[in-house]
Amino acid sequence: MKKIVLQVLGFFMLISCASAYQVFIYAPDTLTVGKPLVVNGTTTFGIGTPIDVVLYQQVTTSTEVKRKIAYVQSDNSFRVVFDTTHLQKGLYKVEVPASGTGESISMRQVRLIDRSDEITLTSQATQTLSGKIYIEGKILGNINSGVQIAVIGPDNSVIYGPMYVSTDYLGGFDVVVPISQTGDYEVSFTDEQGYVGTRTISIIGGHDTVAPKTTVTTTTILSSHGRTSRDNPIYFVVQPIGDAPVTISTSSSVDWVVEYVVANGDLHTINDQGDIASEEIVLNGAGKPLYFKVYPYKYSVDTVVYLYAKNADSVVVSPTVPAVFGMMTPTLASPPETQKSPLAVAGSMAAACMAALFIYLRRH
């Protein structure tokens, strides 16, 4: 009888010991292809215990992609990193097989997304060493905003950025980065939605045979921004470069009204695009500062506006109302003369009738 009791007690002790071991893993729900997939975990297993962590691709069935071993640290944590550079977008899962019992969470699903096709580079993929690397292109959907660019050199050192670069009304960007050696340079792009992708530009030695495209076409686009409303408009001062024409544009998605004063002092107002596209103006700089007043068409809007200037030395927000505006009344704020209310029309007709009656009574 005692033997049976001891066996039962031993069985329950085994179950108790088995259920004491737990594993919890943590991974992002979504990740862009090319970014490292970091899997962190905690466990009740002892220090130094090897933990298998497996990455599976889930299509119709689960297919093992990679397997790594992590070792439990002194704080009962473990960590592995999977390289996703060459993986296809889609649904994956990370799992610790046979992790134990109890309330363990030993599996997480991760969706890999691929945004690399949102980047188009128009600068040459192979350039001759000239002390600079030219980076020019477009990013889909990032009009009048910006993109963060970082450049890693052939020796894996970061030689530029991460630096925020403005994009124009077409999503275009350009930047020139100083370099001193040949080799492959990795250029990575990140926007407000996260990592977008990486492109490689190769720098070779020798003499320039074909000048990089950007040596001719690159023009810096400057910008400034601030909050504005119909009651509190914002004022910008743009300093042109020499006498060349200056292209001014606003950010999109809001119906903006832009007022500006030309050299002869005339006030002009544009409001052509609504909230579909940016307002754009091309002016002859003549080397003198240009002044702009920007506000939303709707009184209910109170938000930030960006003003972009191509072929300009500077773009700044004016802390005060520029003197050139003076007491000028915005042409857009006053209703056209032909748009009279029904009461006004009725009043005019009544006045005309009274005048006619007065004249008739005097003559008769």
Q: Whose structure tokens read 């220090």?
A: 47
pLDDT tens string, the chain, 364 residues long: the values are: 555 544 544 544 444 444 567 899 999 988 888 888 999 999 988 999 999 999 999 877 888 999 999 999 999 999 999 998 888 889 999 999 875 555 677 889 998 888 778 888 898 999 998 889 999 988 887 666 778 899 999 988 888 888 888 888 788 888 999 998 999 999 988 877 777 888 899 999 864 444 444 443 445 678 888 899 999 999 999 888 877 788 888 887 788 899 988 766 778 888 887 776 778 888 876 778 889 999 998 888 898 888 888 888 888 998 888 888 875 544 443 333 333 444 444 455 555 556 555 555 555 5
The pLDDT assigned to 183 comes to 92
CATH: 3.40.50.620, 1.10.10.10, 1.10.540.10, 2.60.120.380. Which one for 221-317?
2.60.120.380
Q: Whose structure tokens read 């743009």?
A: 238
Q: What is the C-alpha to C-alpha distance for residues 346 and 352, in angstroms, rounded to an integer?
A: 10
Please report, as a single letter, which amino acid is at residue 167.
T
For domain 20-113, give the CATH superfamily: Immunoglobulins (2.60.40.10)
Residue pair 204/184 in contact by the 8 Å Cβ criterion: no
For domain 116-215, give the CATH superfamily: Macroglobulin (MG2) domain (2.60.40.1930)
Do the two domains 20-113 and 116-215 of this chain adopt the same fold? yes
For the chain, give every domain's residue range: 20-113, 116-215, 221-317
